[in-house]
């Protein structure tokens, strides 16, 4: 899965404490607090851990969920895992290059997007580049 291996100490040295909590410990930022929630510039969202390109801005949409939402990722950029924590069944999405936790993907919510998916991504897991 991952091609970007670092020790926990190496990750702590390059990530902020909050980035480490979300990307490496599968945390979640509070809804409505992320830098990219209401951000609408044209460009590419990259992994904050390893800089791999993840999402094109053309796939971002306003879902009203409090986190950046995308309807599709760059092909091969993410991997999906079943997540049964918190007493519910969800699909976790991670960076395919470094394994960093991005958020979760939800299907069938009725958004008028081409994939009928909402990739609910933590802003702190992302870096934007024009």
Q: How far apart are the C-alpha atoms of 71 and 66, rounded to whole Å? A: 15
pTM above 0.85, yes or no: yes
Domains of the chain (ranges; CATH) run 8-129 (2.170.150.20)
**How many Cβ atoms from other residues are within 10 Å of residue 36's Cβ?**
21
Residue in 47, 50, 94, 120 annotated catalytic: 120
- Confidence bin at 88 (pLDDT 50/70/90): confident
- Residue 78, pLDDT > 60, answer yes
User: Is 108 in contact with 118 (CB distance < 8 Å)?
Assistant: no
Whether residue 120 lies in the annotated active site: yes
Q: What is the sign, positive or negative, of the torsion defined by CA atoms of 6, 7, 9, 12?
A: positive
Q: How far apart are the C-alpha atoms of 117 and 68, rounded to whole Å? A: 13
- Residue 4, pLDDT > 90, answer no
Looking at residue 85, its pLDDT comes to: 84
Looking at residue 97, its pLDDT comes to: 96
Looking at residue 108, its pLDDT comes to: 93
């Amino acid at each position: 899965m991952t091609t970007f291996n670092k020790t926990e100490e190496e990750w702590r040295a390059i990530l902020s404490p909050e980035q480490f909590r979300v990307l490496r410990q599968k945390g979640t930022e509070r809804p409505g607090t992320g830098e990219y929630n209401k951000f609408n510039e044209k460009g590419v969202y990259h992994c904050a851990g390893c800089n791999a390109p993840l999402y094109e801005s053309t796939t971002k949409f306003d879902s009203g969920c409090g986190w950046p939402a995308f309807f599709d990722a760059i092909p091969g950029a993410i991997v999906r895992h079943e997540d049964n924590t918190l007493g519910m069944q969800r699909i976790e999405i991670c960076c395919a290059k470094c394994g960093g936790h991005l958020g979760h993907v939800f299907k069938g919510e009725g958004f008028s997007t081409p994939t009928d998916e909402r990739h609910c991504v933590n802003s702190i897991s992302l870096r934007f580049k024009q």
